[in-house]
Each structure stands twice: as C-alpha cells, then as structure tokens.
Amino acid sequence: MKKSRVFILFVMLTVVFGFFVLRLVRLQLMDGESYRLQSLARVVTKQTEESARGEILDRYCRPLVRNETVLCVDLNLTLCKSVNETLRSMIEVFRSYGQSYNDSLPISAAEPYIYTAQTMSNDLRNFLTARKVDPSSTAEEVIAALIRYYDLEEYSSDLARAIIGVRFTMYRSGSPTVYSFASDVSLDVITALRERSDSLVGVEISSDYNRVYAEENFASHILGYVGPISASEYEIRKSQGYSLTDTLGKDGIEKICEDYLRGKDGYRYIEVNTAGAITSQLSGQSAVFGSDVILTIDKNMQEITEDSLAASVAANRENLGKGAATSAAAVFIDVKTGEILSLASFPDYNLSTFYQDYAELSKSEESPYMNRAISGAFPPGSTWKVVTAIAGLEEGVITEKTTYRCTGTYTFYDTYQPTCSNTRAHGVVNVESALAKSCNCFFYDVGRQLGSDKLAEYAHKFGFGARSGIELAGEIAGTVASKSRRESLGQLWQSGETLLAAIGQTDNAVTPLQLACLAATVANDGVRMQPRLIRSIINRDTGETVEYHPTVAESIPISSKTLSLVKSGMFMVVNDSTGTASRPFVDYDIVQVAGKSGTAETPPGYAAALFIGYAPAENPKIAFAVVIEHAGRAAQPYTAQVVKDVLSYYFSHQDSFDSIWDNNSLLP
C-alpha cells in the first residue's frame, strides 16, 4: 500500500514536470521568435501631461493673464531609428515654414562660428567635456569636433550646426527619453510632420499652455513675465521638481507668486509599437493646475490710469518740447485697507513681445523696464511740507496761531538766504495758508527750529527711507535727508541744508508709492496701512482660498488738532483760490479733493512735477500720488488731469469698490 502511494506521487510529479518542460520548449523553441518580435515591437514610455499655470485676475476676477493651449512637437528618443536623420527632417520642415524650434547652443548659427555669450556656462562646459572636446577651444573648433563626434560629416555645415544645437538643447533638458523640440507650433507644420510620419518615427504632437495678456502694454510692471529657467535658477529649484526645460516667473506677480501659480505636471505610461502608435495606456497621474491669484487692482481703473498718464506726458512734451516729461508714475491706494487700486509706470512695455523687444528696449534711454512707481527715486519737493507741518505741530515748534511774514526771501542766515517759491512774497501766513500757497519761507523756519534729525524722525514714521514691502521685486527704500545720515557717510552737513530738507530737497529721495502712502496715512488719521497688490489666492482643485487681510504697518500718534490743521491746509491747496492746485480743479465737481502739489529741481532738465492727495476731502476713501519727471514748473494741469480722470471712474463705481470690504471684520 505504501509503495503504491509512492508510485502514484512519482507519476504525478513526472506529469507536472513534463508539462512544464513541454511548455518551455514551446515558448523558447517554437514560439520564441514570435514573442521576441512582439517584445521588440512594443515600448513602454512615460508621457508628460503639462499642467496649466494659474491665472492672474483683477479684484473682480476679470482675467489679466490667462492660458492659451498651443501645439508642441516632442521627440521620443526611444523610438528613433536615426536621431540625426530625424532631426534633419524636422529641421527642414520647420525652416520651410519659418517656424522656430529649441536651440540654446551659444554659438552663432552660421559661419564664421563665434560664441554668442561672453562667458561659457557650466552646461556647455560639461557638455563639451563629456564629448572629449576642450572647453577652451574656439567656436570653430568646437563645431568641427562635434561634427566628428556625432558623425555629421555627410551633412551640410548649416544642417550639421543646427543638429548640434538641438543635441546640446537635448542635453540641457536632462530628459533621457522625451525631448521638447518646439512649442507653439503652427497647424501647417503639424500637418507637414504628420504627412512624413512614416519616416519620422518618434515624433509626437502634444499640447502646452502659453500666457495670454488681457491688453497690450497693460500693467506690465505689475504682472511681469515668464521665461525659460536659467542654470542658476535650476540649481535652486531642481529639488522642487523643476527641469531645465521648464519656464517660471521672471518678474512682477509672475515671479512673486511662482510657487502658487505653477502647477504640477502629470504623467502616464503608454505602450507604443515601433511605428509610434499607442497600443495601450497604463497607469499615470493627472496634472494639477496652478492656483489663481486675485489682485487688488481694478482692470478698468488701471487702464484709465495708464492711458491718462501717457496722455499727460504727451501733452507735456508737446508743450515744452524735447527733454520734457521723460518718465512718469501714478499710484492710487485704498485709504482704509492699503490695497493698490492702480499702479502705473511710464513708459511701459508689451508683455506679449517681451523677448522680441528686449534687445532694443533694454538699450532705450527711457528705461521702460524700470517700475518707477516703486523703483524711481524722486525728490519729493513741496509734498514734503506735509511731513514738516506735522512734525512742527507735534513738536510744538508751531501752533495754529503761529504766523510768519514771507517777504520772498528767508533772511535768518547772513550768508545763505534762499528764496520762496518763484521768489514770491506770500505775506503773513499760518500753517494752513502756508500749505495752500506752498510757502517755502514758512517751512524753512519750521525746519530750522526742528533740526534735520527730528524732521527725519517723523519722515521715517511715515515709511520714508524704508521699503514698503509691496509684493513686487525691485522696490527701493529711498533716502531721508539728515545731518546724522550725512555725517555717518563721512560727509559734511551745512546748516542751510536743513532748510532745504524741510521743503523736500537736498538728499531726500522717495518713490511715488511712498508718497501715496503718506497721503493715505494723513487721510487715515495717522494709521499707515501696509500697501499690497494681492487680495487672495484660490486653489482650483480644492477651492481652498488664502485671503490677504489689511495690515497696519504703523499707527503714528498724531493729535486730532494737528491732523485737522494739515487736512485743512491740503483742502485749501485744491479748493481755495490761493491754493497751488486750485485752477485745474475749478470746474471739477464730482468730488472734493484735498492734496499737495510739489515741484522739485532734478538737474539737468526741467523740474519734476508731483501731486499727492486724497478724496473725498471730508471722508477719505482713496489716496494718490502722481509724478512726472522733468515736467517743468507749470505742469500742475498734467498731474491734476490724471487724478481727475481716475477719480471720475472711481466715484462713478463707488458701490462696487465698497462691496469688496463690506465685511468689517476683515478690517484691523
């Protein structure tokens, strides 16, 4: 019985073993060639699904920057039978239609070959070293060596150089399988490539997204632009998943909000045959769109600000001729929240054609890429008298009863006797009428009694001499004139310079944004709000929202009496017949405006014209600053026109502006 069991078990094992032997024989000997051909005919590859960058919207969610789907041409290197031949055919197709493709080799495209960059990048150095080419070689020697390395002797020198350029760009991309040959490709080129699909195995068509802007030359200094990642940026961001073929924000909100705007690429694994056809789709991960950024600006108000500023500059230039109105800036800000409602810098530039225009515009004497609203250092001129008046009143140097007889010349010093504005004698003035008439002599005397350091102390309270922290790169701190500062630099401070400092001259240099914040702080009874451009950020996938609430930068202890006197003086500037800005507003009846005009010498050339203020005068909601460089002493109508144009829009849409912050719990 026991032997029979052993026999049965032996037979069963023999049958099973025999089955496996027969199966192996069939697989390897009979069907082996068939399976081998099938395995060669199928390749599993990873295909990237591009994510869309988040949009940038205005305060009412109107698009300022959106995405547009474009066609791209990729090259799957695992499917190419001959990379050189495939590249040759692709280059010929692209050239025949005048379509550009990716070529980042810093060597001229035609003979005689020269380097197009002043210094050799690490990418090129490593690329050459890996191919046993001496990095110290001339451009001619490099091309010759690479032609030999890539077996390109049979090609024309023109095509050989083009193929090398693509080969280098492939290397920089860091992808061993799929390479992005070109983006934003026309349908004509796509059609031509598909017609050659039999010979262009491995060429794939995909989609990507381009940035599209609401208007040309619109909010260029706010929005910023995107561009290819540089080697230095890649080193910083490669740990965050960036590749050398990625784009990222280079300036403006695009740069500041890069981490929010950037989406996350998806991917899928696909199985393709040797003809490049997809035979099956495997696992993958969907792309995640970037978050949308909602700004505080009003699109229509921004357009009006920019258009009015450009028109005023043009009118100013027509009046004074060459050398006038070389640049300008304007800022309008919510008094209670610190939100920037519009911010313009002239001249500006077209974001859509940034890279095409860069070579020419970067050499322009007008420096259109400079955001003068936050980076322009202007002498504040008589707008500074607002600070001097507050300091004098708070320190008890003057009171509401203090008067001064202006004779047109300040004679306190025997050896230095500066004149009043336009050498005009204003007669007896107090702090209110001195602000209205912009009497230099009155404020010379206030400044002399205060001293430059005390005056500087108050200026710093209003945020001068420091960056505001607005969400834009390139903001400057400016300077506040004082004896202490000058001496800290090892330089001499003359007593007479204190007089000039009191009226916004000598070392004082401010930005239009700082001036707008000064006006807003006075209007807000000494509460200086943090200026900002970002209102909220919304995650498209989850709906999660990050709100940016109003923030107090500093509460300046200013007495109600001081505020009342200074506000009265600023009201008279615009609304009293003796006020320096009264004439441009004589027929303006939409709202009463309070302000302070200023003229500052900016040699060489005409003086700068400045105007700051707020409205309505009795219950301020919006503050502003307008600066036109080299506008001349009679430029008040030009700065005032910008203010009138923008305020007319603002107050005709007051309900919509108010509704943004109906929830008072958001306010500090």
Report helix angle 440-450 to 495-502, nearest 10.
Answer: 120
Residue at token pair 């919509």: 656
Give residue 266's region: left, alpha or beta (phi > 0; psi -120 to 50): beta
Q: What is the mean pLDDT of residues 576-594?
A: 96
- Could you tell me the pTM of the whole model? 0.83
Position 81 in a domain: no
Burial class (CB in 10 A: 0-12, 13-18, 19+), 236: exposed
Q: What is the mean pLDDT of residues 2-23?
A: 65
Range with the poorest average pLDDT among 284-293, 337-346, 406-415? 284-293
Q: How far apart are CA 37 and CA 49, in angstroms?
A: 30
Can you give the CATH number for the domain in which 635 is found? 3.40.710.10
Tell me how long the chain is: 668
- Is residue 161 a contact partner of residue 113, using CB atoms and an 8 Å limit? yes
- Is residue 667 a contact partner of residue 530, using CB atoms and an 8 Å limit? no
Position 591 in a domain: yes
Position 147 in a domain: no
CA angle 178, 183, 186 (to 5 degrees): 125
190-234: pLDDT as tens digits: 999 999 988 898 898 888 888 999 888 999 999 999 988 887 888
Strand pairing category for 56-57 and 292-295? parallel
User: pLDDT tier at 20 (50, 70, 90 boundaries)?
Assistant: low
Residue 422, pLDDT above cutoff 80: no
444-482: pLDDT as tens digits: 999 999 999 999 999 999 999 999 999 999 999 999 999
Q: How far apart are CA 579 and CA 597, in angstroms?
A: 9
pLDDT of residue 322: 82
pLDDT of residue 65: 96
Residue at token pair 């003057």: 398
Share of the chain above pLDDT 70, in %: 89
H-only helix segments in 196-244 = 220-223, 231-237
Q: What is the mean pLDDT of residues 415-423?
A: 88
Q: How far apart are CA 619 and CA 614, in angstroms?
A: 9
- Is residue 107 a contact partner of residue 209, using CB atoms and an 8 Å limit? no
357-409: pLDDT as tens digits: 988 999 998 999 999 999 999 999 999 999 999 999 999 999 999 999 999 99
Query: How far does Cα 433 stand from its chain's mean position?
Result: 42
HSE on the CB side for 434, CA within 13 Å?
Answer: 33
Position 489 in a domain: yes
Position 642 in a domain: yes
Give 30 or 6, the one with higher predicted confidence.
Answer: 6
Residue 30, pLDDT above cutoff 60: no
Residue 88, pLDDT above cutoff 60: yes
pLDDT of residue 40: 45
Position 65 in a domain: no
Give 49 or 309, the one with higher predicted confidence.
Answer: 309
Residue 21, pLDDT above cutoff 70: no
Position 270 in a domain: no
Joined tokens for residue 63: 């698009």
Q: Give the number of other Cβ atoms within 10 Å of residue 247's Cβ.
A: 19
Residue at token pair 């070529």: 103
Give 264 or 664, the one with higher predicted confidence.
Answer: 264
The parent domain of residue 406 ranges over 299-350+367-659
pLDDT of residue 317: 93
User: pLDDT tier at 414 (50, 70, 90 boundaries)?
Assistant: very high
135-141: Cβ within 8 A, 24+ apart: 138/113, 139/107, 139/108, 139/113, 139/114, 139/115, 140/112, 140/113
pLDDT of residue 46: 62
Q: Which of 160, 162, 168 is nearest to 127 (CA)?
A: 168
Residue 114, pLDDT above cutoff 60: yes
Residue 47, pLDDT above cutoff 80: no
Q: What is the mean pLDDT of residues 521-548?
A: 94
- How many domains does one find in the chain? 1
Q: Which of 505, 512, 513, 516 is nearest to 379 (CA)?
A: 505
Per the prediction, the chain carries an average pLDDT of: 90
Tally helices (H) and strands (E) across the chain. 24, 21
End-to-end CA distance of the chain: 97
Position 201 in a domain: no
325-355: pLDDT as tens digits: 999 999 999 999 999 999 999 999 999 999 8
Joined tokens for residue 282: 């495997």
